[in-house]
Chains A and B, each alone.
Chain A
Amino acid sequence: MLDEPQEQAEGSLTVYVISEHSSLLPQDMMSYIGPKRTAVVRGIMHREAFNIIGRRIVQVAQAMSLTEDVLAAALADHLPEDKWSAEKRRPLKSSLGYEITFSLLNPDPKSHDVHWDIEGAVRRYVQPFLNALSAAGNFSVDSQILYYAMLGVNPRFDSASSSYYLDMHNLPHVINPVESRLGSSAASLYPVLNFLLYVPELAHSPLYIQDKDGAPVATNAFHSPRWGGIMVYNVDSKTYNASVLPVRVKVDMVRVMEVFLAQLRLLFGIAQPQVPPKCLLSGPKSEGLMTWELDRLLWARSVENLATATTTLTSLAQLLGKISNIVIKDDVASEVYRAVAAVQKSAEELASGHLASAFVASQEAVTSSERAFFDPLLPVSLCGMDCLFFCPISQHSTLMH
């Protein structure tokens, strides 16, 4: 709609105020939020013009930038329980990278011969999204197909729709039995996000997920914060007409990737923006991520990293205060100095609005503080075998008196 001017600096926001009767925006819309850190607000000729325009700008800025609840979600681990509502979703913890695993679960290979073009789908849909998110960390993607992997819950039969359903209360029990077969969390440096596509067995087809009102969920999928998501893919009943088992099932990757990408956004804490009234929100670019959403994520991550680094350093100081005879190696000490310097630098950069360097400094602060904390410390004992030498002498001399 609007021609974007030069690239905006990270963390910045540009708002254009246009005249009241301009035709750039549709007549009834007061503001527009663009995909790349720009917004347009309609001006007004009025006595209170400055106040009204100011309010509109503030609303737009709040929709696009860091607000209190984003901060609260980021600091969820550090806030005491009463201040934080436990029902709110927790986003993923900040980490240097993530490993994303797509798994196809086929519990009934006798009936379904499932094929999915996961490589093409990852290349076309997932990789652009991850490239847009690359500032937030390193991502690696892999996929697998698991056979005879059952969900741990028996679905119930609903005679009204002659289909099977999984109740909302059963969903937490679904993940555990499958998790032992997924197998990637032990061998990776980074936290793992699992996305499972489950093709239900012939005896339990079709299978729907019901929400708390009893209506089937539109996408037939659910996700678990900090773990990943599961989607149930029902085979079209028309394919069974041939009645030769196993039937060949070709998975519609577009439908599947829509759901998984939406879940990936939610897992990262990129929520749907709170659009102010009479505001036109432009759709995201083809990657699925608007630039100012990435900025918000980086801000939240920087704050979370700073909180983690300061907590770690404080714990280390307290620990060292309690144990008096610990020898600290030189490199541990230099890590502590580096962590403190990085925390200070990151805070300064955040205050002056340089988001990219603040984020990098905050990551360095976390890495250095963790390295310092988890380094094996050597206790030096001042009273050891030497005590044995002196004890008998003191005992003997007291006896003789």
Chain B
Amino acid sequence: MAAAMPLALLVLLLLGRKGWCLAEPPRDSLREELVITPLPSGDVAATFQFRTRWDSELQREGDTDHYFLRYAVLPREVVCTENLTPWKKLLPCSSKAGLSVLLKADRLFHTSYHSQAVHIRPVCRNARCTSISWELRQTLSVVFDAFITGQGKKDWSLFRMFSRTLTEPCPLASESRVYVDITNYNQDNETLEVNPPPTTTYQDVILGTRKIYAIYDLLDTAMINNSRNLNIQLKWKRPPENEAPPVPFLHAQRYVSGYGLQKGELSTLLYNTHPYRAFPVLLLDTVPWYLRLYVHTLTITSKGKENKPSYIHYQPAQDRLQPHLLEMLIQLPANSVTKVSIQFERALLKWTEYTPDPNHGFYVSPSVLSALVPSVVAAKPVDWEESPLFNSLFPVSDGSNYFVRLYTEPLLVNLPTPDFSMPYNVICLTCTVVAVCYGSFYNLLTRTFHIEEPRTGGLAKRLANLIRRARGVPPL
């Protein structure tokens, strides 16, 4: 089961981001995409994206734009089909046609990584943004493990991954495509062979590196007619050289250190592996109220020296009402590790607020890092509407950097828990002691002794003595 990665289900509602819309988008209704990326370790990653767009009659006056950000996160959710079924219901052709036939719960949850998201946002229809369309984007990413799902074999196909193949496009989709990442294997068919051979390829700079994708278009009638179904197969001709995957320019880690159940320290490590460019990162931290942060202990160090953030916003927590909110803009020097640490004290909760005994502990939500990372390869700004969906979730107008939002891992902390069996123990002990002392004392005071005459035995005894005298045996 997907035990490795807990699911962070996040819905971000952003109203009024003027800077993100470029030209006027045409009125399409549904676009769907599947991106298959074979990884050097033999695993394969698959990402589904579905975008639905519809026009809204909401007319906005040009001057009133309000920025409302509500942020809510559930750090731990056990992933199961109950998450997938309502997600699938939002798709018009759910499970009957198009790419959504591949969404089978028993295969999707038999993976080592599973992530689902729903993004809803308004998109401007004209330059002045007086009329808007609403966009609903659903993404689902899974990583199939070579050893667990693949049983050691490194050949993948759609049938092996999803136990289904593609038969027909969704009649409501204006675009329905499968992209396969063949960046490192395009030159020769010696390492990786993709079957059926693709007719078109797509080249672009994605996340700062140049990538090549093979395209399979379901709406292209020639694609499906040949064999009635499309089962894309990936065969490794030569085992891939186990080169380590390239390290991303920005990555982060977070952990809790300290000992005991009173204090601790929360540390976040931000890595900038770019050889010569420094860039700023926006760090958003929400820490629950029961970890009382001491903001005067906040230290940020890069390369051994103190690093002062150019912007800090801190909102202290109120017990049982709201968590701590810490937002900072930190400049990460090139090729460095920046450590952000803050000390905290663990609070004692009211006795009704503790979770039942068999519990993990309390979860702390991950921090969110947003940054414009400089890319090595300059990308030409593409038409946002024409580019594939996986390239347009965070579009940028300037080709020299790309937008990235990272989530660190959620943390697990233990809070000092009182021993809830003590009231029972105290009552038992006290009752026993009082009963023994009081009872003994009472007996001493009120017990009286009488002398009793032994009674002559009953009829049975007299009969027995009679028989004994007859036998010559001494009487009872």
Contacts and interface: CB of A to CB of B under 8 A. Distances in A.
Is the A/B pair a real complex?
A: yes
Interface of A: 109-110, 147-148, 181, 183, 246, 385, 388-389, 391-393, 395-397, 399-400
Interface of B: 89, 92-94, 96-97, 168, 171-172, 427-428, 430-432, 434-436, 438-440, 442-443, 447
Given A183-B89, A385-B427, A147 B172 contact: yes
B434 A393 contact: yes
B197 to A, nearest CB: 28
Contacts of A388: 427-428, 431
B172 A400 contact: no
Contact of B171 (A110, A181, A389, A392): A110
B166 to A, nearest CB: 15
Contacts of B96: 147-148
A389 B432 CA distance: 9
Nearest to A390: B431
A305 B359 CA distance: 48
A148 B93 contact: yes
A389 B97 contact: no
A392 B431 contact: yes
A148 B94 contact: yes
B170 to A, nearest CB: 8
Contacts of A395: 435
B57 to A, nearest CB: 9
A388 B432 CA distance: 10
Nearest to A145: B92
Given A148-B96, A392-B434, A400-B442, 18 more contacts: A109-B171, A148-B94, A181-B89, A183-B89, A388-B431, A389-B430, A389-B431, A392-B435, A393-B435, A396-B435, A396-B438, A397-B439, A397-B442, A397-B443, A399-B439, A400-B439, A400-B443, A400-B447
A203 to B, nearest CB: 15
Given A148-B97, A246-B171, A393 B439 contact: yes
Contacts of A109: 93, 171-172
A122 to B, nearest CB: 14
A147 B96 CA distance: 10
A25 B430 CA distance: 97
A329 B168 CA distance: 63
Contacts of B431: 388-389, 391-393
- Of B168, B172, B432, B436, the most chain A CB neighbours within 10 A belong to B172
Contacts of B447: 400
Contacts of A148: 93-94, 96-97
A110 B93 CA distance: 11
Contacts of B438: 393, 396
8 closest Cβ pairs, A-B complex: A396-B439, A392-B435, A148-B96, A109-B171, A396-B435, A400-B443, A392-B431, A110-B171
A172 B438 CA distance: 74
Contacts of B94: 148
A238 to B, nearest CB: 22
Contacts of B428: 388
Contacts of A246: 171
B169 to A, nearest CB: 10
B436 A396 contact: yes
Nearest to B92: A147
A392 B433 CA distance: 10
B28 to A, nearest CB: 15
B456 to A, nearest CB: 28
Nearest to A148: B96
B93 A147 contact: yes
B200 to A, nearest CB: 25
B241 to A, nearest CB: 46
B92 to A, nearest CB: 5
A400 B439 CA distance: 8
A70 B92 CA distance: 44
Contacts of A385: 427
A272 B152 CA distance: 73
A389 B431 CA distance: 6
17 contacts: A109-B93, A147-B92, A147-B93, A148-B96, A148-B97, A246-B171, A388-B427, A388-B428, A392-B431, A392-B432, A392-B435, A396-B438, A396-B439, A397-B442, A400-B440, A400-B442, A400-B447
Contacts of A110: 97, 168, 171
Nearest to B440: A400
A399 to B, nearest CB: 8
B427 A389 contact: yes
A385 B440 CA distance: 24
A365 B400 CA distance: 68
B113 to A, nearest CB: 30
Contacts of B172: 109, 147
Nearest to A146: B92
A215 B94 CA distance: 36
Nearest to A245: B171
